[in-house]
Structure 1
């Protein structure tokens, strides 16, 4: 079979199904990546969301024994929200990062990859494949870098010359011996705007991310958010975009060619107060189709409470006081106590916190109640 010809045919087909860029690389082990991953773990920079088996993250043959090449794809997503609702006093709003706009990108890219697999089956008959989108063993970014989708930037994203870094990545391991593409030049140069703009110093050096300090990671944890990050997330409910927004290669990049990625303003910038009392069923109906819902409603509700404290939204106090007393989850009770202290200036809330302290059994919640009380007393 003429695999160069098949490759060109595949590129044309991929464009017809909504793939913005397709490149192919070898299935050689990612040996330099292994060294970086070991160093990341030793320095305590891993998020804990990564695939747990290191060798599987760097050796494609452990995911598909007879793998010959890897197909890497990029699908662009929007960066600007038209007709965004305003966040105003009495009706404050949160914000989901751009990676969570539209339908969950895992579903969108898996659909496109399935179509590519079917194309290969029709063209070649016998072929083995394995799809991966973000949750697979391999690093989608490492594959994309070696395939020439883009270069691995100082902010750790893949930057494509055509689309900037506003792209979702996916890949297919295949037993077909396609001719591989070449990597492209790293064009970051001396620019380090992303590093300078990172509010927590999570980008510790070019291309090295301390995931534990990244605000995107912090919005996705389920426990109490460390105090040092609460004042920094603002109204963000999920994810963080600053290191992409400041990148010169993303200037004027706004991709709306895919209907599935079209953001619903009321979903990506939702009212905060209704989130606090939303049932699981309602949360899934409203936000279940979005990538930002993958950790469930508790992290979103916790972040919404922090956002209301950021705004010092006094209309939220009755709901927060109710959560402090009635919510069965310590993280929500404790974060509510902290937020009450941030927002309130009155003796009414101070007394409510004192009363809650008498009945509270959880040490972490008691600690947050004390924080709330100290905030109120400092304002006197």
Structure 2
């Protein structure tokens, strides 16, 4: 027995010296995850910008030559533009470029929108900015920015949902989306609404703004930029950067997506509470928001051209600290994706049909659990996050 003692003495100091090693070893993994995050943020915003350019082209063609075909092409371009943008919402909620004091989030994607603030509604053909040339003789991008959410959060005059309303109109159908006719943009006897030229000017201006704001977001994350947000982000202490990443993921999963966008509509059973109510595209908003969270966690993003941006994901950081917790997050992410894909389409029917409501609620609970899991990840890394919506 005595000869074994020196060996034990030799092992103990070595073990003590080795203890801090995992913390030191994980820093490069954290930094690699930060790089991947910034790369995916840029690619997602660049895709949002590119699809907005295509939307702009389709809208310009439509207003120059309104027809059933050009109208449909503009709608399809709007739907295509939503696909990458929905995946960028994970970059919100921590004061990044999208929603810092000067950020354009409220100009890009504000909702719900009071239709009567923008254009005619059923029962009131003379309402809205479009039908008020006396007060607003010229429709410009500056005017639309000035009027956005003036006096009320629902006074939305800019962004994706203003464009959506101008393309689809109000949705009065249980099974179909809004049915605004293309003739709303035609002057003369064939026209179906007053002020078609102003409506066209509004649609062009609001789309120009969309492109302008997405250009700024793309530039903020551009790896070619020297003094932009990407450079600032990558210079952060790794834990401070990962805290931001987890905050965006946690707030989106638990509060914005599960709460504001899904549970509120489920609870009220009212399509006025759904995110893309005019086009009935809310199911895709839910899918793309959840996918955006997965993109960050897994470290991979599929671009609109089919190519892939990938690198070290947040999962590698979590796996190095707590493999069981990483497995839990991956399971929650897979479950959420499966449950979201089971939600009845259109979403405004999923929230009222008795046999379909449970699927919505199941996805809500899983997304809430996923948000809580991101808070556990933060704790495992030695800091905390708040998954509630900012005031």
Q: Assess same fold via TM > 0.5.
A: no
TM-score, with structure 1 as normaliser: 0.27
Higher strand fraction: Structure 1 or Structure 2? 1
Q: Structure with the greater relative contact order (CA < 8 A, sep ≥ 6): 1 or 2?
A: 2
Relative to the length of structure 2, the TM-score reads: 0.26
